[in-house]
Amino acid sequence: MKIPEIKSTRAQSAKKTQKADEPSGTTFTDHLAPATEPSSKADASGDAGPVVAVSSILSVQEVGEEANEEQQLRRLIQWGEDILDQLDKIRHDLLVGAIPLDRLSGLAKALRDRKTNISDPVLLSLINEIELRAEVEIAKYSRDI
């Protein structure tokens, strides 16, 4: 295979720059001039905002998800505090000598309603034990002596 002769690029580039220096009918800036002049249509529609990067849009969505996760965490903390308050009241009732049936049934219902959303096996085991003990105490109220 024969390699063709390579011509010097310096001669060609000099010819091109001479052609570019010659004035022609229109220049690049002439084509831009109509776009830089304000038109009545552009004023009527208002100024367009700058183009926003996709990463900034995604970060806004992540903030929304983080806020939603934070709200869920707050609700779970509030639920846990309510359960602990109910258990404290039951402890107090045990010391007095009688636990009201509505308090026990309220505790059992609150535990049943939320335990489907719990994924921690240790916490789920603890909740099942508390619910079982509350159900046993409720059963004691309903048995005939």
Domain boundaries, the chain: 57-142
Backbone dihedral angles phi then psi of residue 51, each to the nearest 5 degrees: -75, 130
> What's the pLDDT tens digit per position in 64-92?
666 788 888 888 889 889 888 988 998 89
18-69 pLDDT per residue, tens: 555 555 567 766 766 665 555 555 455 555 556 656 666 666 666 666 678 8
In angstroms, the Cα distances linking 107 to 37, 112, 117, 145 are 73, 9, 17, 25
The answer to pTM > 0.85 is: no
